[in-house]
Chain A
Amino acid sequence: MPLPADYPADAEDDLALVELVNRVLDKGAVISGDVVISVAGVDLVYVGLRVLLASVESMVARENALRHL
């Protein structure tokens, strides 16, 4: 699935975006009972998020490998 154009390419930026999406969609105060459960597009955003998380993990693994060269 292609990522939206405003997804950053850098892993550090990816992490900031992961933190942003997690907070805005999954945390914060709930003021109405029927909440966010039915917000359209959430699943698609989380699919993109998994791609970003994978890129952060790759960065960590890559840096570790370089350290041991």
Chain B
Amino acid sequence: MQPGTRGIDGAIVRTITAGDVAAVVSAHNRRPDASMAAIRAHNAVVVAAMDEQCTPVPIRFGQWLEDDEAVRAALDADAARWGGLLRRFAGCAEFAIRIFDPGLSEEGPVPPPKTGRDYMEALAARVSGPAASQTQAVAPLQDALRGITISEIVEPLRTAHGVASVACLVHRAHFNAYQTAVEKVRTSLPHFRYLSTGPWPPYSFVTE
């Protein structure tokens, strides 16, 4: 990390070492409030600490410890976990894909049916719509990314047109292959929208 790097509220960032691991910290006299500026600053420090060999373990926003000793104690208490995550993340970053199906109908009353059977079929289609979209949109993406991603986390996207949110852990050596694979899926399934962002620090993969 570059000397003089600044974090939340412009505070100077420094490292505190305990054993084989180091925490990147900045000093504040109280727990920082959540604001867009603070969130951006937090992420910028994590990104600044990433290089080709080392990907830091991203820490969730808003954690505030009393002093340097408390930070060292927290590092020591979970040393094996931090070491394991650092080895797993080395050279990697996270990419995110949100998948939308513009064809999914907005929530609203089922249109007046002619018969009871029509009503039940319309209701069934509404219930199965998101699940069917998930199968059709996510499975081809996972097939295309096989051998490229180290790990994937798929979560349902509970919005009007949302299908799924996919987080992918990818090694730098495969960044181009990842982009190419996503583009290929995007082209082959134009019915769905695959909106991709990244690379991110691997926030989503610390809890695996």
Chain A residues in contact with chain B, CB under 8 A?
4, 6-7, 12, 15-17, 19-21, 23-32, 35-36, 38-42, 44-45, 48, 53, 56-57, 60-61, 63-64
Contact = CB atoms under 8 A, between A and B. Distances in A.
Given A29-B85, A42-B34, A20 B39 contact: yes
B40 interface: yes
Interface in B152-208: 159-162, 193, 195, 197, 200-201, 203-204, 206-207
**Which of B36, B85, B193, B203 neighbours the largest number of chain A CB atoms within 10 Å of its CB?**
B36
A26 to B, nearest CB: 8
Given A15-B197, A40-B33, A61-B160, 20 more contacts: A7-B36, A12-B195, A19-B98, A21-B39, A23-B203, A23-B204, A25-B34, A25-B39, A26-B60, A27-B60, A27-B207, A28-B61, A29-B60, A29-B85, A30-B60, A39-B34, A39-B61, A41-B35, A45-B35, A63-B102
B103 interface: yes
A16 B65 contact: no
B162 to A, nearest CB: 8
A38 B94 CA distance: 27
B43 A24 contact: yes
Interface residues of B, number: 44
B150 interface: no
B200 A6 contact: no
- Interface SS of chain A: helix
A44 B38 CA distance: 13
Contact of A31 (B33, B74, B100): B74
7 contacts: A6-B40, A17-B36, A20-B43, A23-B94, A24-B203, A27-B60, A39-B34
B78 interface: yes
Interface in B9-61: 23, 31-37, 39-40, 42-43, 57-61
Given A19-B96, A57-B100, A61-B161, A28 B36 contact: no
A48 B63 CA distance: 22
A61 B106 CA distance: 10
In the A-B complex, list the 8 residue pairs whose CB atoms are closest, starting with the nearest: A64-B102, A28-B60, A39-B62, A23-B203, A41-B34, A36-B62, A27-B203, A41-B33
